[in-house]
Structure 1
């Protein structure tokens, strides 16, 4: 009998210990934007009693009130009122007594989360069950919320105010694929002109007066139109955009700037998305800004870009939700009215070769940066026989290590997957010492050194009558296609608001593969050996070789 009693007690003890061990710190923000960080906080998640847990650092400690129990998660803020002002909701507990509606922690000393270095220790009955140290477990950055998920800290960079959208996939979707400059304008204006209730538009830059006029016409039909723009684009808001903004405002169309509030930290480095939602049933997603070069008149030259018009209420609802989140932030403000001018115009003639095409029974997965941009790496890494990449540019990290998307593509080639890369050759992308021509040379040097099925080329703009390559597209195995606004640099997937779609469809894959092949094979015969074909300069190749050796040595040191 005593033996059975001992077994039961042991089991109960193990169950109790496991319930406590399941509680852990899963989120914290030590360095907020508020002076002296009264709104700093941490989050516990799990289930079980809290009275015997202690949270401490090297200076102070916190205990929970007697009888406290955790049934899911709880926020412990330094000052509950300050936390509410920043995050819009009250925490469950606070360290400093600021409100009778918020339960107080029992303090010993003064636990404050250090901005640049500190630690958090979670103990139960004197036994340490979790330790978090920074720098170390996380890299401190002002405004960053550190999240523990899937066994690791900070799988994505989450800044204060940013969304945390989960991946979603939709089957049996009907969509229309199009490319610029061939067929973009027709699809775009058909979508806008079909609106009967609402248009929500989010784009980095809107300079095309024809697009502005179409939105004004929609308002005349009784359509509710909202426009969200980037508040601080590179080079500032252009006179052409100011002119469009003024026209929209004169017709009572609200135009808001994301990141346009003085003294308020923007949630995103740039609002670089390019999409619109029509009547909560249609969403148009593209790589192109709403400028004449992205949506030129028929027969007029423009940028190479990709886009899709999705006719599906489920996908439209997803993007409508994203728009609502971004529209309601504290960092948006009405665009200032002001004189415009210098309207941009597309120029040059163009013979369209790729009409828009409609496909049914596709599978669509939205990709939002920074929330789910890791899906791009997963897409590329899942290739089995081919990856075709067309980008405005590719930038490696500031430390010189390969761009994460490019690294995934090179790793594909090391597995025998054929990888092709087209980059823009407009002067502003080949004029400096570290831009597209050097990147093409680097990629081809890697291919030559390792005998990989990997090749990069600069686009022949002359042969294609294109202004520039502004695309951010990927085709995997000729059936999965990425259409998005996400550039291949460090900031775009990690810090910007970006929007895109991964489409799984053999038909859509074949459509974009044909467009890619046209761009890949284009030759003008007048490029002087630089544009439209593989670029390999002996000097640059030698530099790339040295870089490869340095990277290899660095990797060996890390492994050692």
Structure 2
């Protein structure tokens, strides 16, 4: 669950194996609830179910029960159907239940038999509670859930960090009409220089940052945001419903810049992290990202920096100051098409689809991954069907124990099964400071963005990812991966199995630490 939400207890009661006669033999289910509209007196609140036509359905909350014959498909049950019709596109029937904002349990029965149950601890004003892929989450009713969008052939500039810190700065510097910058943390004075200079030359400049990065908002970031706001740059701070506004992208006129790195010295400043990035010259992709930026800018819990910072305290955080060689030069290539993936909207499923479609090889770089999560399961499926899979993990102190345990576990699995999967922990060898990239090369497709391979990132954060359908782009990132993979050859299969149990238990904590430390 999101760090911003009170505990929400959700219970799903599966339909029994014994079929119900006639039309009631269904998998009828609860699919949504809208208990707290922004209307006076919560007019229009509703519960949505899915059931076949003719099913005898009832809903109750322990105090009252409503029954009806389902018209078929999705149907919203509301006490005020006229008001509810303005809030949902589903068919509305009446009467409905009065849903308590302080918590409610709703039970669905078909022909008198319980088929589903939903309980929430408290409501969230203006937010829809809906089931997606078997799990429940709150989502602002007015915020669209976007599908994967694909854009046509375009020129793209590919780069890696810390080798090419000039590329993101040059992209900001090129803006003539609009410059939208989205980040988790913005603390680079050089980035601030470019934003203020763009504003001064008449460019519309807007910035979005997260309201509560792990460990607290750094003083360095607060000073940068103060400077931007004082200069007249629009700076807004994103809160709910995103657990973290973790995306790292910019729109500069008709160009879309997407990275794995934060707007800070350790990231775009080239002072620490291994990262991947891409700039795509595509008016349609730029417009697409601008729409996501506008969506997040207008969320009810997104506030101006000046109002947010009143009474706030900030934390001291060390700034990275490393210096590294520039071995991988930027490269300009032509991509056949570019797709934009968003979390929590679609990035998890779309990324796994790409992994499941791979036929020859998959190379992945991640700071750490969820050991039994959906992404690792996809890698094992790929290896089982003969795809060569390589996974390069970070080795910094806060992830090293769990990554050592995971590498041992997956490499042992590959040895037992004879499947072509191999895992190594990175050895920077003076070429960079730490792995922070989140990149994939699957056959001739490259995937670059902010998505960490854990369910929290995929299902609760705002993340932005680009997929590049291009043999040239795949070759570029695979070459960068290959160099880091070769440098990490020593100690690739650690034998400290005794440390594995404690390391895995520490993994969840490390996922949280990871964002702040990098």
Q: Deviations over 1:487-546 (max 9, x none)?
A: 11220001111101111110000000000000000159xxxx65xx3323243579999x
2:356 counterpart (367, 370, 381)? 381
1:473 aligned residue: 439
For residue 134 of structure 1, what is the aligned residue in structure 2? 117
Q: Paired residue for 1:319? A: 289
Q: Highest CA radius of gyration, 1 or 2?
A: 1
Is there any run of 5+ residues in structure 1 with no aligned partner, and where? Answer: 1-16, 95-102, 260-265, 397-401, 546-560
Q: Distance in 2 between matches of 1:159 and 1:145?
A: 5
**Contact 1:442–1:544 (CA<8 Å) still a contact in 2?**
no
Counterpart of 1:450 (choices 409, 414, 417) is: 417
Distance 2:418 2:503 in 1: 15
1:16-62 CA distance string (max 9 Å, x none):
x99xx99x87742166699x9877423478999x9x98754474216
For residues 31-430 of structure 1, the aligned pairs below 5 Å read 40-43=45-48, 56-57=59-60, 59-61=64-66, 75-78=76-79, 90=87, 105-106=94-95, 117-121=105-109, 132-134=115-117, 145=128, 147=130, 154=133, 157-161=136-140, 163-183=144-164, 185-259=165-239, 266-279=240-253, 281-296=254-269, 301-335=271-305, 336-337=308-309, 345-373=319-347, 374-396=349-371, 402-430=372-400
Q: Distance in 1 between matches of 2:52 and 2:410?
A: 51
Q: Normalising by the residue count of structure 1, what TM-score does the alignment of the two structures yield?
A: 0.73
For the residues of structure 2 that align with 1:268 and 1:466, how far apart are their CA atoms? 31
Q: For residue 366 of structure 1, give the secondary structure of its aligned residue in structure 2.
A: strand
SS at match of 1:360: strand
Contact 1:188 1:284 (C-alpha < 8 Å) held by counterparts: yes
Whether the 8 Å CA contact 1:208–1:291 is kept in 2: the answer is: yes
- CA spacing shift, 1:490–1:332, aligned 2, 3 Å: same
Contact 1:424–1:468 at 8 Å: present in 2 too? yes
Deviation (angstroms), 1:369:
0.3
Given the superposition, is the C-alpha separation of residues 540 and 116 from structure 1 closer, same or farther in structure 2, using an over 3 Å criterion?
farther
Q: TM-score when scaled to structure 2?
A: 0.79
Alpha-carbon separation, structure 1, partners of 2:177 and 2:273: 31
Per-residue deviation, 1:120: 2.8
- Unmatched segments (≥5 aa) in structure 2: 1-21, 505-518
- 1:332-354 Cα deviation digits (max 9, x unpaired): 11224579897965423322111
* 1:359 positional shift: 1.5
- Relative contact order higher in (CA < 8 Å, ≥ 6 apart): 2
